[in-house]
Chain A
Amino acid sequence: MNEQARDKTAAQPSSDSVRSQVAVGTQRTGRFKWSNVRRYPLISGFVLVVLILVGVLAPIIEPKDPNDQDLRARAAPGFWNPAWYDEHPKVTQRYFLGADEVGRDVLSRMMDGAKISLLVVVVALGAGMTVGTVLGLFSGYFSGMIDSTILLVWNIWAAIPFLLVALAIASVVGSSLAMVMGLLAMVSWSAFVRNVRAEVLVLRDRDFVQQARISGASPVRILWKHILPNVINTVIVIATLRVGGLILAEASLSFLGVGIPGPQATWGNMVADGRGFLADAWWIALWPGLAIFTVVMSLNFIGDWLRDRWDPRLRQV
């Protein structure tokens, strides 16, 4: 209840119920309402917007160069321990979230890492989504050879322990940004195939598709113009639900040392770096991990919300 409403009810306690109804009515004025926080994923949306802004603007808003070392400031603590800077007068700069084992600014590196996470997810998910949706459309619409071939590939794919393949590739080809994107795209396509296929199997027999077929529309046209618009909601919902997992996967690869190679900062390799300095400098590992956690949680939250709104049938994904 906001201030105004409380004043009104306090002024006329005799008609409490009427007043509170009026108060509810006056609440519809675009001001902040707690009920909206429960109804819409506002906090998660805010986190997502911040992530995108930080990722896109990273080179501009980074307080320091993410790869700039200052050995005098190695393992310098952040805002929680200002006394440290008094003891070390030679360190002239302040590190808000502390500095890592070679005196690089943790905050700037996290911003740089946000850029990488964003880039990897957009490319990997975009590729996986396109391939998965197209295969799902074909697999569902054409029965017979095409369908069973796609299903067979899908089944074999599902049995591959991807982390081991990633490890093997990384040791052979060496890891790079492009390789991580490719690997994650390879992981992400399969969820789309299964769900899109299931949807198409139902849509295929609906009247509007039959009529399009009778009118002589080619299969590609039917898929593109008539079926795709009906499955696009599902595709978007699955994509949203997968984003969090992909960020986690990228971070895990980086953590194992087969992700994006240093000195480029990623949230995963920052945690890996900090692991060796836990006793002396816990902040190196804490903050980037917290960033992964917050972002993935927000994305999952938004994904859940979208699914409940757009496609409640997907509840079991």
Chain B
Amino acid sequence: MRAFLARRLVMALLSLLGATFLVFGISQLAQDPLLLYAKPSGYGVSPEQVAALRHKLGIDRPIPVQYVLWLGRIFKGDLGNSIQDELPVRFKLSQRIPTTLKLGVASWVLATMIGVPMGVLAAVQRGRGWDTVGRVFALFGQAVPGFWLGIMLVLVFSVHLNWLPSATAGNGFFSVKHYLMPVFVLGTATAASYLRITRSAMLDVLDSEYVKMARSKGVNGMTVIWKHAFRNALIPPITVSAVLLGSFITGSVITETVFALPGLGSMAVQAVSTNDFPLLSAAALFFSLIWVSVDFFSDLVYVVIDPRIRLT
């Protein structure tokens, strides 16, 4: 167990390093971040001033060195300053992260509450009633482009019916009215995936001998489904949880852009258009961190739920 954990931890850290280095490197590979301040010619900037600015921003050294320095500062809690408005990146992140987390958690809860029970129901009623509903929902959810669904919801509910506000996150901790459409958009595709996975896992389990045994013993139908079958069908949905939460990263960038929510995703899009590499690297770090830790925890839960899994 301990060796398994250690290996997974090392892997997670390596992944984190790889991912952040890639984004860090790319974001200042070809275009000079100084162009944010001055065009290469004109404005009467002397070469000495450019060199001084370069030194001040710490971009006069090779990228690997910069990366190591950047990592070192992170351990001291210093994420650097945004190039655009010189505010500390940490301050900007702290403003943006809550919105993204609220959006992500709410969508995940919604997706789980819709997807998993509907998947169980679809498997139990295979080929009938709820299974048909589930199939249609799964096809819809996995095929509809999130950005388009968001725009169409805005068209119907904000522009025409004027029921729901768009383009703000509202006041207070969690304004249901403001988050309803973004959460729905982000949750639909995930719910569809959960549904499919849960359904196929349940079908496998319901086919097994011990479920037949339980049924022939006369165990009450509900108990068979939820206690005997469901618990054993849980592993695939938990395994994909990591992948699905990973898709939230992409999803939140798009959803926040569509609904103009002040979250990390929309910040990253802005950081790209201004080539603000400290901000972009920090966003990448945060997203990778979430992704890697979810992956890690899903492996842990996996082992706890099913002790039969060999720790290889």
A residues in contact (CB < 8 Å) with B = 152, 155-156, 158-165, 167-173, 244, 248, 251-252, 255-256, 258, 268, 271-272, 274-275, 278-279, 282, 285-286, 289, 292-293, 296-297, 300-301, 315-316
Contact = CB atoms under 8 A, between A and B. Distances in A.
Given A161-B284, A168-B272, A255-B145, 7 more contacts: A159-B12, A163-B249, A164-B23, A168-B23, A172-B26, A278-B151, A316-B200
Nearest to A286: B152
B4 interface: no
Nearest to B201: A316
Contacts of A293: 143-145, 148
B295 A159 contact: yes
B133 interface: no
A106 to B, nearest CB: 14
Interface of B: 11-12, 14-16, 18-19, 22-23, 26-31, 139-140, 142-148, 151-152, 154-155, 159, 197, 200-201, 236, 240, 246, 249-250, 253-254, 257-258, 268-269, 272-273, 275, 280, 283-284, 287-288, 291-292, 295
Contact of A316 (B19, B154, B197, B288): B197
Contact of B283 (A164, A244, A248, A258): A164
Nearest to B249: A161
- Judged by DSSP, the binding face of A is helix
Which 3 A-B pairs rank lowest in CB-CB distance, beginning with the nearest? A289-B148, A159-B15, A297-B143
Contacts of B15: 155-156, 158-160
- Judged by DSSP, the binding face of B is helix
Contact of B280 (A152, A164, A274): A164
A296 B159 contact: no
Contacts of B143: 244, 248, 293, 296-297, 300
B26 A165 contact: yes
Contacts of B154: 278
Given A158-B15, A165-B23, A169-B26, A271 B275 contact: no
29 contacts: A155-B14, A159-B19, A160-B15, A160-B19, A163-B250, A164-B23, A165-B22, A167-B268, A167-B269, A170-B272, A171-B27, A171-B31, A252-B146, A255-B254, A256-B257, A271-B145, A271-B151, A274-B151, A275-B151, A278-B151, A278-B155, A278-B159, A285-B148, A285-B151, A292-B145, A292-B148, A293-B143, A293-B144, A316-B201
